[in-house]
Amino acid sequence: MHAKGGISRLAPSPTGALHLGHACTFVANWLLARKSGWRLLLRLDDLDAPRVQSSGHDVLDTLRWLGLDWDGEPIRQSARLDRYRAAMHALAQAGAVYESPHTRSEVREAAAAVGAPHEGEGHARFPDALRPSDRGAWRFVDAAVNHRVHTLDEGTTVHDQVMGSHDFHVHRDHGDFLVWTKAGVPSYQLACAVDDGELGVTDVVRGADLLESAALQTRLLRTLRLPEPRWWHLPLVRNAQGDRLAKRDGAEGLAGLQRDGVPADRVRGLVAWWIGMAPLAPITRDALLQRCDPDALLPSLRAMHASGGPRVHAATLAWLHGDDAAADTLATHVRG
């Protein structure tokens, strides 16, 4: 654990229902903050306007149902567009960004022509050949035009509190990545880096799927001369088949569990068991906070990572719905 005076943040995206994986990360983040004496901000990542639902109120209701609190008023990314534009101008002054009007198909074709690897999910690495040779294009046009950041041909090491040190090579694996989109808003990577840097976030706690994003955001933070946080990437909660939970997984959705009458005490109890802070049993928020051992929490999170992370089985859902006998079945699984 770290000394008092830090700042962390809950950063849900109000683009769909939260699930048990979110509950695990948010509860662990809340415990870390409250037991470490950090301030805990709430930031709504609401830049994806077409997908944002009810201005984030459903997300806030779910967090309150879990018993989580935060310090200060919620921060909305949609209200910080001027800060992201200022960051883009700073990157432009550093000669680090340029206009990139290329379509995805053009990027894929150019990448295939030079044998560039794929990032995954069908996205090709952005090849250097598509960088504009005209330095006049190395600027920021405050308009609905894609812009990319110039990546350096060097490695970046992410020192993670939970998952250990990992080496990434952003230029080799991604190429120049998007920082401003044709929708006229920043990319996730830029918005997240600017928010964390400007708001003084010292400890970023989130899911392991964003570990590589830490390398991309580190590149931006260093160019913008903003402080880099400590990283805490927690194991993902997966279903019985080993697939990561998604917002479309209704059975594990927190709003659905709440509508079905599942007490928040049971959800907290499940998460407390997953993170090694309590035996499997319903638990109140105050009891969980009192029971949490700050000296044991980090080693327990590391053990959870080493075990592959929690899984949601049929018995997990049965226990949440009040079948205490299902606990015997869960005991045969590693934390879930």
Q: Which residues contact 82 (CB under 8 A, 6 or more apart)?
A: none
Residue type, 87: A
pLDDT in tens, 196-224: 999 999 999 999 999 999 999 999 999 99
The predicted-structure confidence for 70-120, as pLDDT tens digits, reads as follows: 999 999 999 999 999 999 999 999 999 999 988 888 888 888 877 655 555
Q: Is the pLDDT of residue 250 over 80?
A: no
How far apart, in Å, are the Cα atoms of 249 and each of 52, 239, 253, 284? 18, 9, 6, 26
Query: What's the confidence (pLDDT) of residue 1?
Result: 55
Structural domains present in the chain = 7-78+235-330 (3.40.50.620), 80-198+220-225 (3.90.800.10)
Instruction: Please tell me the pTM assigned to this model.
Output: 0.92
Q: What is the pLDDT of residues 158-198, one digit of tens each?
A: 999 999 999 999 999 999 999 999 999 999 999 999 999 99
